[in-house]
């Protein structure tokens, strides 16, 4: 029997060890690297905001608090969907549900979230980008889209994770 309290690192190790899908194992590696990078960037942002409160008077203390809360919300909005496929697969394997196709689908949903996050954030970025890569026209087309399309793309990828998780719940042991 597996210990019920695995934690984040234990869940990742267990999911990577128990899954037979190489696609899912690669997603475990990629999502852990992206997660650590996200935590690192948020920590640097928090340090910068705390060390340099320019224009933050006592009167504006409420605004200062809201910015820090927004930072936590952004972190959760990135990390929860990033880690969800790993937690779902780990939980299913602990329950004895070992269907390789489900692992592949959850990894695909996770990769879809990563791609949509990258493309969605580039759509949301108001700056014009100088592109010099082979798919320059695709990049220019993405850059020309209205900003709310980026948010819609990210939200659709979140719904894709939920739908795939629901559709792959076929087998439940008694």
* Tens of pLDDT, residues 76-125: 888 999 999 999 999 999 888 888 899 999 999 999 999 999 999 888 88
144-165 in b/e form (b: 16+ CB < 10 A) is ebeeeebeebbeebbebbeebb
Number of residues assigned to the chain: 174
Mean pLDDT, residues 128-145 taken together: 80
The model's pLDDT over 7-25, given as tens digits with 9 standing for 90+, comes to 888 889 999 999 999 999 9
On the question of pLDDT at 59 being above 50, the answer is no
Q: What is the pLDDT of residue 62?
A: 57
What is the overall mean pLDDT for the chain?
83
How far separated are the first and last CA of the chain, in Å rounded? 16
Mean pLDDT, residues 48-72 taken together: 63
Q: What is the pLDDT of residue 155?
A: 93
C-alpha distance from residue 43 to each of 32, 72, 76, 111 (Å): 16, 10, 13, 24
On the question of pLDDT at 132 being above 80, the answer is no
Instruction: Report which of 10, 30, 34, 27 is spatially closest to residue 90, judged by C-alpha positions.
Output: 10
On the question of pLDDT at 38 being above 50, the answer is yes
Mean pLDDT, residues 17-37 taken together: 94
How many Cβ atoms sit within 10 Å of the Cβ of residue 82? 21
Q: What is the pLDDT of residue 60?
A: 52
**Which percentage of the chain shows pLDDT scores above 70?**
85
Mean pLDDT, residues 130-144 taken together: 80
Q: What is the pLDDT of residue 131?
A: 74
- What pTM was computed for the model? 0.82
Q: What is the 3-state secondary structure (H, E, C) of 29-96?
A: HHHHHHHHHHHHHHHHHHHHHHHCCCCCCHHHHHHHHHHHHHHHHHHHHHHHHHHHHHHHHHHHHHCC
């Amino acid at each position: 029997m597996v210990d019920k309290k695995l934690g984040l690192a234990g869940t990742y190790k267990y999911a990577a060890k128990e899954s037979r899908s190489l696609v899912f194992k690669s997603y475990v590696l990629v999502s852990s690297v992206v997660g650590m990078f996200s935590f690192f960037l948020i920590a640097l942002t928090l340090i910068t905001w705390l060390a340099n409160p320019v224009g933050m008077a006592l009167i504006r203390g409420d605004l200062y608090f809201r910015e820090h809360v927004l930072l936590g919300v952004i972190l959760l909005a990135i990390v929860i969907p990033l880690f969800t496929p790993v937690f779902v697969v780990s939980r299913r394997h602990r329950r004895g549900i070992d269907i390789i196709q489900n692992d592949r689908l959850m990894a695909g949903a996770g990769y879809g979230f990563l791609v949509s996050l990258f493309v969605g954030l580039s759509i949301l970025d108001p700056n014009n980008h100088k592109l010099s890569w082979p798919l320059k026209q695709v990049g220019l087309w993405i850059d020309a889209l209205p900003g709310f399309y980026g948010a819609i793309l990210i939200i659709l990828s979140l719904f894709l994770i939920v739908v795939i998780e629901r559709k792959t719940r076929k087998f439940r042991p008694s």
